[in-house]
Amino acid sequence: MGYPDQRFDVNLSILFTELPLLERPAAAAAAGFTAVELWWPWIETPTPIRAELDALKKALDDAGTQLVGLNFYAGQLPGPDRGALSVPGTESDRFRENIEVAADFAASLGCTALNALYGNRVEGVDPQVQDALALENLVLAARAADRVGAILLVETLNKPESPLYPLVSAPAAIEVVDKVNAATGLGNAKFLLDLYHLSMNGEDLSQVIKAYAAKTGHVQIADNPGRGAPGTGDLPLERLLDELKDAGYAGWVGLEYKPGDRPSAEAFDWLPVSARAAG
């Protein structure tokens, strides 16, 4: 049990960001990792030109890294936005334009998990209107994910850092997952269980794991406080990951933490090199 018993991947949108995007897969590989995940890399556009998609695919392939998770277009992230799919008007339109692009790009790399960030509440817009739009767009995204053999992920964020994001508890995200699955009949909507965000919300992490491991499609970790590497805060991450495994979760664990003041390559000393390559 413990960390060496997990399948880790590196989030290249929060680690190795001191390097240009196309150099990050090789840097992750040099650090010993064979699996990576990404937020939507082109924050300005949901539909990048083919050459940009091809260049990123080549960088991932050349490094020998497997892409195991990809966000749909989520607006300015990093930045003020927390997704686009529930935001009426231009942002919802951009999300829809991105759905097939992201699904096809994921498929080209064998990536089978697509994360759809819900989006912030908008002042002056009825929350019920946003939720109806969100369900409509999530159904479209779930169908596109299913077309390429992927799952759709719905993520809880934390209220202190994302005060306008409505999904700030595990039950809130699970409710959306259940609604999407009921609407599509596909069963491919899953919970993205991020232990850092849930801990920031003050949730009982062991209880969340017991209640929702069966509906969890992806896990992400960072320590708390600070959102740093395991061991920099107070979370018993090794024990919690063991609890997830005991509860039947056998998927990926994304390293979505900040490296601090050091280069990203030095932010993995908590994990033996022998445990970094995914088996």
**What phi and psi, each to the nearest 5 degrees, are found at residue 47?**
-130, 70
Residue 23 is a catalytic residue: no
Q: Measured between alpha carbons, how far is 190 from 225 in angstroms, rounded to an integer?
A: 27
Handedness of CA 135, 131, 160, 175 (dihedral sign): negative
Candidates 37, 91, 203, 256; catalytic one: 256
Tokens matching residue 220? 């992400």
Residue 52 is a catalytic residue: no
**What phi and psi, each to the nearest 5 degrees, are found at residue 219?**
-125, 140
Candidates 37, 91, 155, 203; catalytic one: 155
Tokens matching residue 30? 């040099």
Q: Which residues have C-beta within 8 Å of that of residue 31, sequence separation ≥ 6?
A: 10, 264, 265, 268, 276
H or E stretch covering 74: none
> Mind telling me the catalytic residues?
155, 256
